[in-house]
A and B are shown apart, each in its own frame.
Chain A
């Protein structure tokens, strides 16, 4: 089995994003960037399947500017075998475009399973995996918290509103990861060194024959209304609870 894992380069999850004053977007120059956390979970899962002997090869792919090489190297350090960088002029492409390029790659690579993140933490789209499954005509296990390969089916436990749901997917299939699927390993220095020697192919996005133009225009990006903190109550527990009740007891009572 060959697994394809698409990974996206995004702002570091622990950096507070700042809106640019010209309202054109979020400031990304000189801001720490990293692999999207859900994609890191996807890479980890694929590598574990390889380590269990369920997968023969794990190929990671990123669609974006030249700097995506950094996150591909990180994925290789986790344990992926090979990377593909689909190079664009740098700006973000929409999920439907990403899905169309990935469909091409899946066919070219004859992948049997694609594991994506459920959501990119910059665009918060939560679309690409489901779109790719539709384009390929494959089953989808979105928001997975557990994956088990069982012959030529895949048992996927999904995090849904209300609890957990388990589906059995016919292979080949698409899975998207939720936070509880696994905890990605710490990459060690030797793995980072090794990753530098693993193959990384670059293909211009234009070679895929997919129209890259956006269908949805971003007119402006603005700051959300800011909440200002209220009062901090300090003192003994009994005192501060009393102060709180004086202030909003009636609102609590409804």
Chain B
């Protein structure tokens, strides 16, 4: 078995979900290769070569790959799959992998399997369906398996310790079907939502953008936490779209998840119910979030938040915790 993992990166650094995907690839048992497709992506390829467990890095460096357009990367991956005799192609189940891999799968006439959370054996996988209200165990009868991997379900591979050879891959082409115009990234000093030890999420209960901004960032910063949100808060324009936690947003599984003014709709729970400890603040004792929260604080968040900040000052000092990535 030979497995190809498609790295998620920004030409300079690898994105963390790549490391979690490598762990899933290792569980399949077999040689693991990592494809870094980009433009001037030497630094990312070098980082990839150091990941423990990788036996080869394929570097495709081409102007056509600079912006990771699916139309340009997919034919390259399909070609590699055919020539390289791969049995599995994996990518992290973020927006990059979700955009790219179905296109690859269709080019290869393969029915892909999305968002796996468990590997039973090389052809049998578990994946959540119906917003995580059911787990499907599925078996593929195909000789090539194309999978996206839910990063929170697998530990990160060690970023150091490996020493894989880097091989150049040529043949990338501009499809002419799509062109990159611009990217507006959310700037933040805080840890990534997907890897933070603590996540503080706010919902409609905060009432307004002003209140969200007044109450949530100070708490997150005190805890060195990432900020998340419910769909309601995103739809209202209080926070950027990539803060949305849930079935159709981001999946998180931090050590501690703090939900402030979030009711706990099934679509929200789908994104956070694998957190180790869930703390919820809600004025409605019947809110569904309390059915899964380890600690539920029933009351008005306007009163609870200041008390919480005070108590954390006592616990952590007024500067709070060190920011942890």
Contact = CB atoms under 8 A, between A and B. Distances in A.
Interface in A200-236: 214-224, 227-234
A217 B139 contact: yes
Contacts of B109: 96
A227 B292 contact: yes
Interface in B200-224: 223
Contacts of A227: 273, 278, 291-292
Interface in B170-217: 175-186, 197-198
B134 A254 contact: no
A66 interface: no
A240 interface: yes
A159 B99 CA distance: 11
B111 A96 contact: yes
B105 A127 contact: yes
A19 B134 contact: yes
A188 B131 CA distance: 30
B129 A237 contact: no
Interface stretch (B18-26, B28-36, B54-62, B248-256): B248-256
Contact of A13 (B107, B127, B134, B267): B267
B315 A121 contact: no
A251 B316 contact: no
A164 B182 CA distance: 8
B102 interface: yes
Interface residues of A, number: 89
B285 interface: yes
B105 A96 contact: yes
Given A13-B267, A131-B102, A229-B291, A251 B133 contact: no
A118 interface: yes
A230 B311 contact: no
A22 to B, nearest CB: 13
Interface residues of B, number: 97
Contacts of B115: 124, 126
A96 to B, nearest CB: 5
Given A122-B130, A139-B177, A241-B307, A127 B235 contact: no
Contact of B129 (A124, A133, A137, A229): A124
Contact of A242 (B70, B294, B311): B311
A19 B307 CA distance: 41
Contacts of B152: none
A129 B235 CA distance: 23
A170 B183 CA distance: 19
Interface stretch (B40-48, B82-90, B161-169, B296-304): B296-304
A145 B279 CA distance: 32
B296 A161 contact: no
B178 A163 contact: no
B111 A222 contact: no
A150 B88 CA distance: 40
A81 interface: no
B103 A234 contact: no
A3 interface: no
Nearest to B282: A232
Interface string A173-204: 10000111000000000000000000000000
Contacts of B178: 139-141, 167-170, 173
12 contacts: A26-B130, A95-B112, A126-B98, A140-B70, A179-B248, A228-B292, A234-B285, A240-B298, A244-B311, A248-B294, A251-B256, A253-B316
7 A-B pairs closest in CB distance = A139-B177, A130-B102, A134-B106, A131-B106, A230-B294, A237-B303, A127-B102
Given A134-B104, A240-B304, 11 more contacts: A26-B133, A99-B106, A134-B103, A142-B70, A164-B241, A180-B234, A216-B140, A217-B141, A230-B295, A242-B311, A251-B255
